Every structure is written in structure tokens, then in C-alpha cells.
Chain A
Amino acid sequence: MPRLRDAEAISPGMVAVLTVSLAILFVPLFIIILLSFNISPYGTLPFQGTLKWYGALFRNSGLLAPTWLSLQLSFVVAISASVFGTTAAVWLEKRATRLGATILKVALLSAITVPWLILGLAMLLVMNAIGLGRGLFSMYLGLLATTLPYVVFIVAARLRALDPDLDHAARSLGASAFVTFIRVSAPLILPAILSGTLISFMVSFNNFLIQYFLAPFGVQTLPLKIYTLIRVGYLPDLNALATVIVAATCVIILLLHRLGLRNSGLPGGG
């Protein structure tokens, strides 16, 4: 009969397995971060520390303009997604018919499950057909469509989890539906809205495929710029930029985590 192990124990073997897996995940990024401080412009060892690539990045790199464009575009998309997505989520939870809700959910799911290669191409066909063609506005619409689902699903889930008694109490005290929403529901779902906005920002910033098909010629967002640069080969100031982006991603993840924590402490909430 096999030994009855303590079911809660973590063996050293398990720790080793986890460490190796995490190493696989993080080694490539670590190497880039390491190389961003390395003096060699060819990505080879031996290692010699320097900050010059960060200086080059800020002074004369062709990376700054695309980064700025990506930041602005993603910001506008994220704000739009959070506003339109939240109102759509409110509609979904409070005013939707079953048919309407199903149609909306299918549309939202299609936006994130259909491979963005195919969706992006199809979007381009339609944009060309209606005369808009490639352009900043088309890119904005395309990115908005693919980020709305995240906001809607996150906010709708949060709305569904709210205690209905709070709404009823407000209404019974004479508040209109609108006032109830502004003063009671909205503060409670705010963390969800913020999380959705942050995720929209990241997803639209990184959405290479939609940008590839809808960006006007000559205009480059950061992922597009990186795509053309990779063909060139190794670029040391790209390492510096990558390190900065990874650091910013860490900050955003911590923010998302804080928003999640505060969520569960509220009365009537999750």
C-alpha cells in the first residue's frame, strides 16, 4: 500500500518544476533587460554595463514618435471603451431583452475569438468599401471594437454581483434611476470600470494585427515600428525601450491588483 503522504505538502521536486517553468517564461525578457545595459551593439557577451542605450533612446531614436502615437491612440481608445462599454454593460444588466442580450454577447465574443488577422482584414475591406479606408479613425474604430468586450464583460459581471437591496433602498427614498446609478451603483463598480480601462489600454496598445491592416501608410504605431525593425536585426535601443515597457507593465499589473483587492472590501460588493 502506498505511503499516505500529507496531501498539503509541497515536495522539492514540485518547487524545481515550478522554477524551471518560470525560468522558461522569464529568461528571454531577462536577457533583453540585461542586454539593454550591455555595451555591445550586437547583443553578444562579454557583459559591460552602460546606460548609453537609454540615452540614445531618448535623444535621437526613431522609436519615440511611434511610442507617443501608440500612447495617445490607446488612451483615446481606452477612454471610449470604458464609457461605451460601461453604458452597454448597464444596458445588458438592466434593460436588455433576452434576444438583445444574446446578440450583443455574440458580437462581443466574435470580436475576441475570431483571429484578429481575419477580423482585421475584413475590417479593412469594409473601411475601403465605405470610403474611409486606412486611417487613424479606422484604426480607432477597429481597436475600440476589439477592446469593448473586455470592459463590457468585466463591468457587467460586477453589476450582476451588486446587492440589489442598495438600489431598492435608494429608489424607495425617492431617487430616480439616474441618480441611483450615479450615487449608488457607479462608485461600487468603479474598480471594475478602471480595470476594464487599463486592460483596454494594454490590449489596444499591443494589438499589432488590427494596427497593421488599418494604419495609414507612413504612419507607424510602436508595434508596427518594431515589426519593421526586427527585419533589420538586433537593435540595442529597442532593448532599452523593451525594458521601459516591461517596467510600465509591472506598474499597471500592480494597479490592477490593487483595484481587485479594494473591490472585495466594499459592502454589497463581491
Chain B
Amino acid sequence: MGRRLISAMTTPVLLLPAAGVLALMVIIPLAVLVWFSFAPDGPAAPLSFDSYARLFGTGLYLHLALKTLITAGAASLVTAALAWSPAWVLSRLPGRARNPILLAIIIPYLTSYLLLIYSIFVVLGPGSPVMEFLRLLGLAKPGASILYSQPATLVMLVYENLPLMIFVLFSGMQRVDANFLAAAASLGASRWHRLRHVVFPLASPSLVSGLIMVFVPMGGAFVESAILGGPHGLLLGNVIADQMTRADDPSFGSALSILLLLGMLAITGVVGGLRPALEWLSAERKARHATPA
């Protein structure tokens, strides 16, 4: 009986610390966020839609939310485009060559993104080796830099997420067996055809995962735009942070956060559902055109 009792007692002991921390710091805060967004007059006052009314009242915040989501979306796509080729080459390399490179790619991934921002800051600044190199090539005026502009924010977002995207794409592309490509080529498929009908369908689930995995943190970005974005580069994240800390309007900040979360949820839902929807559509079309035996 003693053993049974001990066994029954260990279960909560095992779970409780982690569960407690998660409940306090994740579950409750998210619930509080939703609650506060409906409580513009403080926690004790009756609930109201005032914060949301204010949000939708001017077109300003919706415009900013749209700009943020578009920036994040564009940055995600650019990241995927830049990551595709190296991920493909890595998936074709033998382990001996490939593994050290993969390990090396983890380095920028684990490096604090403040340091990454700082390095891009130096690289894009006037007089830096990269800018000087571009000047020598005649591509940039002396003393020019693209710092403090929206493109700079985009460059930063892409740079930060490139390692992750390469990993995700790489793991998907590993599934593309070389024999499939050889078989397709032997049946007369051109390079483009092989890419479109063999590689892309097999790699697209990981492409979708990768896009979603980088899109969400990009949507919440505020440090990049605060440092590199310049006066016109503000994103929704900056406004949210401001409302919560300096403007001391947690209800409005919460409403903005919920808006951002819902926007991201909608987009990731659409992107995630795109492929199953397309497959279902093409299956329908095939079924309709099938001639009875």
C-alpha cells in the first residue's frame, strides 16, 4: 500500500512545477489579454467594446496591421526563395560534406538576434566594408546606406529567419529520392518538369510549414523596425509595445494584440489549408471526367 500511495503522489509532483509555470505565464496571460481587450475602463469596470471601436474607428490601425502582415508575408516569401536553392543542394550532398555545413548554419540561428541586428546594422551602415564594396562597383553613392528604411527591416527579418527556413526545407527535400528524378528524366521530363512535378509536390508540405514558422514571429517583430526601420518603418508590434508600456493603455494594446493574432491565424489558416484544398479540387475534377469502364 505504501508503494501505491507514493506512486499516486508522484504524479502531481512530476507535473506540477511545469504545469504551474505554464498556467501562470502562458495560459492565464493569454486569457487576461482577451479579457483586457474588452475592459477599457480597468478590470473592475463593466466590459465594453470601446477599445475595439477605437481600433476600427480610424483606418490608421487597420492600415498598420495590413502593412505589418504584408511585410511579414513578403519577408517570408523572400526567405523561402533564398533558402530553396541552398536547401536543395544540401539535400543532394553526401553526409560527410553536408553535416558540417548544417552545423555551421546553426551558429547564426543560436546567436542572439540583437547581435544579428547589430551586424546587419554595421553591414548596411555608411562606410562599412559591404557598402564600400558596392561603391567600388558603382552601385552605391559614397556615404549612402539603406539603413533606417523599410527595406532594411525586411532585410533583417529575412536574414534572421534564413537558417530556420533552410533547415525546414532541407528536411522536406531529403524525401525527394534521387531515383524519382532519374525515373522522371528517363521518361522524358525536362528539368523544369522534374522540378514542378516531382520536387515541388514532395517539398511543398515543408515549404508551407517553413512559411508559417517564420511568418508568425515576423508578424510580431518590433525590435527590427525600432532599430532599422526609420521614421516610416513602424510596424504594429511597435505600436502595441508602446501602448502597453509608455501610453499605459493595456486595454487598447490587448485589443491590438488580439487583432494581430487573429490576422496571423487567418493567414496561416489559409496558407495551411491551401494545399489540401487544391488537392481536393483536382480530385473532384478527375472524378468528374472519369469515364465509366
Give me the interface of A with B, judged by CB distance under 8 Å.
1-2, 4-5, 7-8, 10, 14-15, 17-18, 21-22, 24-29, 31-32, 34-35, 42-45, 83-85, 87-88, 90-91, 95, 100, 104, 107-108, 110-111, 113-119, 121-126, 129, 141-142, 144-145, 148, 152, 176-178, 202, 205-206, 208-209, 213, 222-223, 226-227, 230-231, 234, 238-239, 242, 245-246, 249-250, 252-254, 257
Q: Which residues of B contact A144 (CB under 8 A)?
A: 21, 25
Within the complex, the shortest CB–CB distance from B136 to chain A, in Å, comes to: 11
Contacting residues, chain B, for A91 (C-beta < 8 A): 11, 14-15
Q: Does B190 contact A (CB under 8 A)?
A: yes
Q: Do B186 and A4 touch (CB < 8 A)?
A: yes
Q: Are B122 and A32 in contact (CB-based, < 8 A)? A: yes
> Interface residues of B, CB < 8 Å — how many?
95
| Nearest-CB residue, chain B, relative to A128 | B250
Chain B contact residues, CB within 8 Å of chain A? 3, 6-7, 10-11, 13-15, 17-19, 21-30, 32-33, 36, 43, 82-83, 85-86, 88-90, 92-93, 101, 103-108, 110-123, 125, 127-130, 132, 159, 162-163, 166, 178-179, 181-182, 185-186, 188-191, 216-217, 219-223, 227, 237, 240-241, 244-245, 250, 253-254, 257, 260-261, 264
Interface residues of B: mostly helix, strand, loop or mixed? helix
In the complex, the chain B residue whose C-beta lies closest to that of A121 is B244
User: Which one, B21, B117, B221, contacts A84 given CB within 8 A?
Assistant: B21
CB distance from A185 to the nearest CB of B (A): 13
> In the assembled complex, how far is the CB of residue B224 from the closest CB belonging to chain A, in whole angstroms?
11
CB proximity of A239 to chain B, nearest CB, Å = 8
Q: Give A125 to B255 CA distance when docked, in angstroms.
A: 13
With A2-B185, A87-B14, A91-B11 in contact, is A238–B118 under 8 Å at CB? yes
Report B-chain residues with C-beta under 8 Å of the C-beta of A234. Answer: 122, 125
A-B contact pairs, 30 of them (CB 8 A): A7-B179, A18-B101, A25-B108, A28-B123, A32-B118, A84-B18, A88-B17, A91-B15, A100-B15, A107-B22, A111-B26, A114-B30, A116-B220, A117-B237, A119-B26, A121-B240, A121-B241, A121-B253, A122-B33, A125-B29, A126-B24, A148-B21, A205-B112, A206-B111, A223-B112, A227-B223, A242-B118, A245-B115, A246-B111, A257-B103
Q: Contacts A24-B162, A25-B105; is A18 near B90 (CB within 8 Å)? A: yes
The residues of B that contact A34 with a CB separation of less than 8 Å are 129
- A202 to nearest B CB, angstroms? 5
Q: Cβ of A129 and Cβ of B129 under 8 Å apart? A: no
A43 and B32 contacting across the interface, CB-CB below 8 Å: no
Chain A residue at minimum C-beta to C-beta distance from B132: A45
Known: A4-B182, A35-B122. A28 touches B14 (CB 8 A): no
- Cα distance A83–B16 when bound, in Å? 12
Cβ-defined partner of A5 (8 Å) among B116, B185, B264: B185
Is B116 in contact with A141, judged by CB distance below 8 angstroms?
A: no
Given contacts A142-B25, A148-B22, contact A110 B241 (CB under 8 A): no
Contact A18 B223 (CB under 8 A): no
